[in-house]
């Protein structure tokens, strides 16, 4: 089984910065954003290192033994208190909030991690806003409005994918909401637009799709344009099979992201909740991400902040 390394961006514009947010998670690690999930994170150098753990509510599993062209399929029972679990490790650059995520078949998607982070950020945002309002002494209406405005914006995220991967991501969507793109060269759609296009730095096109449209036709149109290799930038907003909104953005600067063999990568894995912070920091999977992040080319990408207009 192959383990893929995926890239992502987090954007925080509200009254709570990334450091405060992750420190809040770290102070409560492991959090349980959902009954079957555990989320833990710790700061180590220039990166936040984390684990998204998914516990499966089963105690039986099947295994197959093959020999001489024949096989035997059996069901095994796990020990009392034991359950199958998927472990997805990730790192986030403390300054830029750009990160890397390890994903393998049937484990939690990167969109699941980002969705859980967004949910937790909204919870902290609510708590901080309530504290700020309570700290006001007989506030005026204007003071209340300004205080609440500081905590109005939520966390945003984008999953970074290469051209071939973006096509696969589009195919997996249950709905496409919009497709935003820029051509490598300016291409005026109508004659009256040419005077503007000739002086513009860049021109962005945005297609918004209705729920009543044919999903397969929408997917085909988007994929065909991506495959044409004429796009400078592209982002697709849609709904994944879990009914969570997700944004995929075409990237060329993280082209060195690779794949690993799961058996080799997971060999020796052990995380102990009694020493959770140390377990995450020294985990072989996390070390693999840190080593990858230090590679020439990729390190510059992770250390370069992404502006709001590029993220959306």
Following DSSP, what letter does each residue of the chain receive, concatenated?
A: -EEEEEEEEEE--SSS-HHHHHHHHHHHPSB-SSTTEEEEEEEETTEEEEEEEEE-S--EEEEEEEETTEEEEEEEEPPTT---EEEEEEEEETTT-EEEEEEETTS--HHHHHHHHHHHHHHHHHHHHHHHHHHSSS--HHHHHHHHHTT----EEEEEE-HHHHHHHHHH-SEEEEEEEEESS---SSGGGHHHHTT-S---EEEE--TTS-HHHHHHHHHHHHHTT-EEEEEEEEE-TTS-EEEEEE-STTTT--EEEHHHHHTT----GGGHHHHHHT-HHHHHHHHHHTSTTHHHHHHS---HHHH-
For 140-177, how does the pLDDT look when each residue is reduced to its tens digit (9 = 90+)?
888 888 888 888 888 988 887 766 667 777 887 888 88
For 227-261, how does the pLDDT look when each residue is reduced to its tens digit (9 = 90+)?
776 676 778 888 877 777 878 777 655 544 667 78
CA 199: distance to chain centroid? 36
Question: What residues contact residue 186 under an 8 Å CB cut-off, 6+ apart?
Answer: 197, 198, 200, 202, 203
Question: pLDDT: is 193 or 152 the higher one?
Answer: 152
Strand-strand pairing, 245-250 and 231-239: antiparallel
Whole-prediction pTM:
0.75
Mean pLDDT along residues 106-112? 87
Predicted pLDDT of residue 116: 92
Range from 25-34, 70-79, 147-156 carrying the lowest mean pLDDT? 70-79
pLDDT at 193 over 50: no
Q: In this structure, are residues 50 and 280 in contact, taking their beta carbons and an 8 Å threshold?
A: yes
Sign, Cα dihedral of 237, 118, 172, 258: positive
pLDDT at 132 over 70: yes
The token pair that represents 163 in the structure block: 């051209």
Q: Residue 29 has what DSSP assignment?
A: P
The token pair that represents 39 in the structure block: 């989320």
Tokens 């589009």 -> residue: 170
Q: In this structure, are residues 139 and 35 in contact, taking their beta carbons and an 8 Å threshold?
A: no
């Amino acid at each position: 089984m192959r383990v893929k390394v995926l890239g992502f961006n987090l954007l925080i514009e509200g009254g709570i910065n990334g450091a405060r947010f992750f420190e809040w998670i770290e102070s409560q690690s492991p959090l349980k954003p959902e009954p079957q999930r555990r989320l833990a994170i710790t700061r180590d150098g220039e990166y936040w290192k984390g684990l998204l753990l998914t516990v499966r509510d089963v105690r039986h599993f099947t295994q197959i033994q093959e020999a001489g062209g024949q096989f035997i399929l059996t069901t095994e029972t796990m020990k009392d208190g034991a359950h199958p679990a998927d472990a997805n490790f990730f790192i986030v650059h403390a300054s830029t909030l750009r990160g890397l995520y390890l994903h393998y078949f049937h484990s939690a998607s990167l969109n699941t991690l980002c969705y859980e982070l967004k949910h937790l950020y909204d919870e902290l945002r609510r708590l901080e806003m309530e504290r700020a309002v309570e700290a006001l002494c007989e506030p005026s209406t204007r003071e209340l409005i300004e205080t609440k405005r500081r905590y109005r914006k939520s966390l945003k995220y984008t999953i970074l994918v290469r051209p071939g991967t973006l096509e696969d991501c589009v195919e997996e969507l249950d709905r496409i909401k919009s497709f935003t793109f820029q051509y490598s060269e300016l291409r005026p759609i109508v004659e009256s637009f040419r005077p503007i296009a000739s002086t513009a730095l860049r021109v962005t096109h945005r297609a918004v799709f209705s729920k009543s449209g044919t999903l397969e036709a929408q997917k085909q149109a988007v994929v065909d344009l991506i495959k044409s290799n004429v796009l400078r930038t592209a982002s697709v907003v849609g709904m994944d099979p879990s009914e969570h909104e997700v944004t995929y953005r075409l990237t060329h600067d993280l082209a060195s992201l690779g794949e690993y063999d799961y058996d080799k990568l997971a060999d020796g894995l052990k995380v102990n909740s009694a020493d959770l912070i140390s377990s995450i920091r020294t985990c072989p999977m996390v070390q693999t991400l840190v080593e990858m992040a230090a590679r020439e080319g990729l390190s510059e990408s992770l250390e370069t902040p992404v502006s709001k207009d590029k993220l959306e």
